[in-house]
A and B are shown apart, each in its own frame.
Chain A
């Protein structure tokens, strides 16, 4: 069989059926859920953020034909499958407690006071099962119940705040908000302070960098570009002991 050059270039996309909020669409099989929805005529106004799998705006739940289980994924990262029944849950209402950070001390009791519903957890694990980032949500809630803020911070580190955990919780916990306060308390009170940061802030306060910044502000655009492009850069392969020759501002 002979083919022309034009024909060999032409690739027919295989179309597969998916169901968006109950309605069937035929979409190319290689698309992500987000692209497939756009292909089907949906336009995102909300429920779409970074398109890179980190912002958590496009969390989606779906089922597959003949399978009782609920699946989840980020629409921008998950590739469509035939007979996928899907709906986006871009936002799920969950109480976020307000507090004055200046008055906090980094104690577990502060979290217990702000989120007493923490103790409604029955360890059903539905939160972990739905998490599109594979965070062990139930485990960080368990850690907080025993006052281990540092463990909760560690376990919840990959959370992107999509809220699917809260959507499944039979104890009605806002897990992702609780994890956030745990990470904030851990960062502010429970982990070592960066000593060099204090020095830098003190340097700024004494006006050490004022002159340099003023000279940058006074440059015209071309001079600014030249200064930027001519700056000394760390080589692609540099040893741990590499330091710039010009280090008067460090």
Chain B
């Protein structure tokens, strides 16, 4: 089964660790993925204005590239790319009037009507491989690693593109269980990290992220697993600022779910996991558990 892979811009710049670990892990799982030869930024945020169709053009163009490549499935790793592509796809599938407007505008492209299936790697693993089979393929179970699954917003909202039940998701829980980790349930798993507020209103974003980290460690988590580069930016890269700002906040490593997948599949090299982009504590924790050399 050959599938298209849509990386998204951040995976080529600030979140290379999400891409390198995922590509190595998918290879180890026997999944044949091909990066689209032509692709553009998905737009990152799905426009909510009802008549703002120009911002739907970019993701639809990417979906047309998938169709052109002869594949009917595209997998993404970044949850914001997933959200934008999946919502644009839904719109093209269900809204006849807007579909026509967009197709008419892109008169240099073939018409598109939502023929491509948009997956995030998490629901692709669940639906196409299955947790039992994934568990069998694990070579280095993440035994004793207490990981809190952090979903954020864009994998679960709105409901029509959610990869699991929006109010009670299990997918990241089940994924981490399959890898052998000790899954730490915590209420903050569905809270917003503050997203782009980190630019315009950093106080609000830092406060939101701090609550999530404190909640996770308060429930006994040693680390967080997530899928979104922006969540990682706020929860991970801004942790030093939060620790100076908020007394008693504990350092907690943040992993992309794909890094934990790679490690569990026995892929422990620096080239694969690029822990140099994570917080220093990320590599240290795995070393202390003898999960990587």
- Contact surface of A with B, Cβ cutoff 8 Å: 108, 121-125, 128-129, 138-139, 141-142, 145-148, 170
**Residue B54 at the chain A interface, CB threshold 8 Å:** yes
Contact of A122 with B57 in the complex, beta carbons under 8 Å: yes
Contact of B54 with A170 in the complex, beta carbons under 8 Å: yes
A125 to B105, CA, bound (A): 10
**Residue B9 at the chain A interface, CB threshold 8 Å:** yes
- Some 5 contacts from A to B, beta carbons below 8 A apart, are A123-B40, A123-B41, A124-B105, A128-B108, A146-B12
Q: Which of B8, B39, B41, B108 contacts A121 (CB 8 A)?
A: B41
Contact A123/B57 with A129-B108, A142-B41, A145-B41 known, Cβ cut-off 8 Å = yes
Contact of A146 with B57 in the complex, beta carbons under 8 Å: no
A249 to B5, CA, bound (A): 54
**Residue B220 at the chain A interface, CB threshold 8 Å:** no
Residues in B neighbouring A125, C-beta threshold 8 A: 57, 61, 106, 108
Residues in B neighbouring A145, C-beta threshold 8 A: 9, 40-41
A145 to B41, CA, bound (A): 7
A139 to B38, CA, bound (A): 7
Residues in A neighbouring B279, C-beta threshold 8 A: none
**Residue B166 at the chain A interface, CB threshold 8 Å:** no
Contact of B54 with A122 in the complex, beta carbons under 8 Å: yes
Closest to B40 in A: A142
Restricting to B16-52, which residues have a CB under 8 Å from any CB of A? 38-41, 43
* Interchain Cβ contacts within 8 Å, total number: 44
Number of B residues with CB within 8 Å of any CB on chain A: 18
Q: Which of A124, A139, A142, A148 contacts B54 (CB 8 A)?
A: A124
Closest to B9 in A: A146
Residues in A neighbouring B8, C-beta threshold 8 A: 146
A122 to B39, CA, bound (A): 13
Contact A146/B13 with A122-B55, A122-B58, A123-B61 known, Cβ cut-off 8 Å = yes
Say how far A8's CB is from chain B's closest CB, in angstroms.
47
Contact of B58 with A123 in the complex, beta carbons under 8 Å: yes
Closest to A69 in B: B107
Closest to A119 in B: B41
Contact of A138 with B40 in the complex, beta carbons under 8 Å: yes
A123 to B57, CA, bound (A): 7
Contact of B9 with A147 in the complex, beta carbons under 8 Å: yes
Say how far A103's CB is from chain B's closest CB, in angstroms.
21
Q: Which 9 pairs, one residue from A and one from B, show the smallest C-beta to C-beta distance?
A: A142-B40, A123-B58, A146-B9, A146-B12, A147-B13, A123-B40, A145-B41, A145-B9, A122-B54
Contact of A147 with B12 in the complex, beta carbons under 8 Å: yes
A139 to B36, CA, bound (A): 12
A123 to B106, CA, bound (A): 10
Residues in A neighbouring B39, C-beta threshold 8 A: 142
Closest to B59 in A: A123
Residues in A neighbouring B12, C-beta threshold 8 A: 146-148
Restricting to B38-97, which residues have a CB under 8 Å from any CB of A? 38-41, 43, 54-55, 57-58, 61
Closest to A108 in B: B13
Residues in B neighbouring A129, C-beta threshold 8 A: 108
Closest to B12 in A: A146
Residues in A neighbouring B55, C-beta threshold 8 A: 122
Say how far A76's CB is from chain B's closest CB, in angstroms.
26
Given contacts A125-B106, A170-B54, 15 further A-B contacts (CB under 8 A): A121-B41, A122-B55, A122-B58, A123-B40, A123-B41, A123-B57, A123-B58, A123-B61, A124-B57, A125-B61, A125-B108, A128-B108, A142-B41, A146-B12, A147-B12
Most buried by A among B40, B57, B105: B40
A145 to B44, CA, bound (A): 12
Say how far B159's CB is from chain A's closest CB, in angstroms.
27
A32 to B246, CA, bound (A): 72
Residues in A neighbouring B54, C-beta threshold 8 A: 122, 124, 170
Closest to B55 in A: A122
A142 to B37, CA, bound (A): 12
